[in-house]
Chains A and B, each alone.
Chain A
């Protein structure tokens, strides 16, 4: 039976179910990515402001998000909030909250890095050309920041897609859960189903994340030397 096990992927609507499961995680991560890009830009700008209180708060937030495993945060939001405050969130909503909180921290750090990587002479040259502060930002700083930021933000997207697999552990029915269901349903007809299903899920994730990584790398190379004044 072993060499025929791969057929389990194609009988019935199994493949379709797996793809729908994958869409579930991708959807969660896309919502979280979009939210964290907006919030991250705000956070990143806040981190460059020279206000000690703001700086301390953002630093603590960043450190907490960097140290706590995402799974722990999922548990806190999914189980902890319910127990402590009676707030009952569905698995998907808690996942979006957790990945947005985490993504905002990561994105904020990237934005901060991109902002401080613009050398001061860029601001000064702009000012010397009699541009207003706003013009310096619009025509000089933001275009360069965005070029540095976009490849990194795309990389963060693949990381978030990969990390959203964790939602299976708080009971969201996504690709791994669907895979388990198919394996259970075909336990007797296709005993080697587990191998093929998990191999297929592995391949699916690769097919989703790899093109995104390639785009990020290409953009990074293309813009590597374009950022500075030449």
Chain B
């Protein structure tokens, strides 16, 4: 193991980790919005949108991110739609993540029993109030484990971005292997970088799950 090599190239990894995180966070944020939207649409059974959301969820859940990215990045320009690699990556990640988040929210909403909704209504709350004060808090707390699992899943998926020429962690490692033939060092740093990003999230998730476990109250 060549530690001199590791110290000289740490800055490249830090920069790449920044890109990975930035794209990952945008993707996660957008997928949360898409997920919540799709979930609400199917919860309130909005006529046409509901169908569109259902089709979208099936499409995105049953195709790999890499294929989605290749289509966006190499396929669409042939029709004159040219999108930069970063935007492609964010679109791809949120296209993929949206459906996973929607499913997580949906399972949370499903887990809230009808009694809760009916009790709320019989107390004279409007249906919007029931949603805001009764259903959503319980639904969110029971969907937290799934949501956090999705966050970790999406950050892991960002490793694919190197395939559309984005200089993320994978790309830097591949580059160093190609240029200096320091495979061991490059891979060890890659593993450490991902561990530094994902371990805290995984630990925070376990703590968060314990704190928000309110939905089970009374059972």
Chain B residue nearest in CB terms to A179: B70
Across-interface contacts of B198 in A (CB, < 8 A)? 67
CA distance A2 to B80 in the complex (A): 10
Q: Is A79's CB within 8 Å of the partner chain B?
A: yes
Contact A209 B63 (CB under 8 A): yes
The segment from A124-132, A133-141, A193-201 that touches chain B is: A193-201
Q: Is A27's CB within 8 Å of the partner chain B?
A: no
Q: Mark B32-69, 1 if CB is under 8 A from A, else 0.
A: 00000000000000000000000000110111111110
Contact A199 B62 (CB under 8 A): no
Contact B194 A165 (CB under 8 A): no
The segment from B3-11, B121-129, B152-160 that touches chain A is: B152-160
Q: Mark B150-177, 1 if CB is under 8 A from A, else 0.
A: 0010001111101100000010011001
Instruction: Say what secondary structure dominates the interface of chain B.
Output: helix
Residue of A84, A169, A194, A213 near B62 (CB, 8 A) is: A213
Q: Mark A188-230, 1 if CB is under 8 A from B, else 0.
A: 0001111111110110011001100100000000000000000
Across-interface contacts of A195 in B (CB, < 8 A)? 71, 75-76, 78-79
A interface residues, tally (CB under 8 Å): 43
CA distance A199 to B63 in the complex (A): 11
Q: How large is the interface on B (under 10, 10 to 19, 20 to 34, 35 or more residues)?
A: 35 or more
Kindly provide the distance from the CB of B151 to the nearest chain A CB, expressed in whole angstroms: 12
Q: Is A53's CB within 8 Å of the partner chain B?
A: no
The segment from B82-90, B135-143, B182-190, B210-218 that touches chain A is: B182-190
Contact A194 B74 (CB under 8 A): yes
- Whether A70 contacts B156 in the complex (CB less than 8 A), given A75-B190, A76-B191, A168-B66, comes out as yes
Contact B67 A72 (CB under 8 A): no
Q: Is A66's CB within 8 Å of the partner chain B?
A: yes
Contact A198 B190 (CB under 8 A): no
CA distance A205 to B156 in the complex (A): 21
Q: Is A154's CB within 8 Å of the partner chain B?
A: no
Across-interface contacts of B70 in A (CB, < 8 A)? 176, 179, 198, 201
Q: Is B14's CB within 8 Å of the partner chain A?
A: no
Contact A191 B78 (CB under 8 A): yes
CA distance A5 to B76 in the complex (A): 13
Contact A194 B187 (CB under 8 A): no
Q: Is A80's CB within 8 Å of the partner chain B?
A: yes
Across-interface contacts of B76 in A (CB, < 8 A)? 195
Q: Mark A158-174, 1 if CB is under 8 A from B, else 0.
A: 10001101101100000
Q: Is B208's CB within 8 Å of the partner chain A?
A: no
Kindly provide the distance from the CB of B169 to the nearest chain A CB, expressed in whole angstroms: 8
Contact A68 B187 (CB under 8 A): no
Across-interface contacts of B156 in A (CB, < 8 A)? 67-70
Contact A206 B170 (CB under 8 A): no
CA distance A75 to B174 in the complex (A): 9
Q: Is A83's CB within 8 Å of the partner chain B?
A: yes
Kindly provide the distance from the CB of A157 to the nearest chain B CB, expressed in whole angstroms: 12
CA distance A79 to B177 in the complex (A): 9
Q: Is B195's CB within 8 Å of the partner chain A?
A: yes
- Whether A202 contacts B71 in the complex (CB less than 8 A), given A76-B187, A191-B78, A209-B62, comes out as yes
CA distance A67 to B158 in the complex (A): 13
9 smallest CB-CB distances across A and B, nearest first, come from A83-B183, A209-B62, A198-B75, A69-B159, A195-B78, A162-B64, A198-B71, A69-B156, A192-B78
Chain A interface residues (CB < 8 Å from chain B): 2, 5, 63, 66-72, 75-76, 79-80, 82-84, 158, 162-163, 165-166, 168-169, 176, 179, 183, 191-199, 201-202, 205-206, 209-210, 213
Chain B interface residues (CB < 8 Å from chain A): 58-59, 61-68, 70-71, 74-79, 152, 156-160, 162-163, 170, 173-174, 177, 183-184, 187, 190-191, 194-195, 198-199, 202
Q: Could you jot down 29 A-B contacts, CB within 8 Å? A: A2-B78, A67-B194, A67-B198, A69-B170, A72-B187, A72-B190, A72-B191, A72-B194, A75-B190, A76-B191, A82-B183, A83-B183, A162-B62, A162-B63, A162-B64, A183-B74, A192-B79, A194-B78, A196-B75, A197-B75, A198-B67, A199-B71, A199-B75, A201-B67, A202-B71, A205-B62, A209-B62, A210-B62, A213-B61
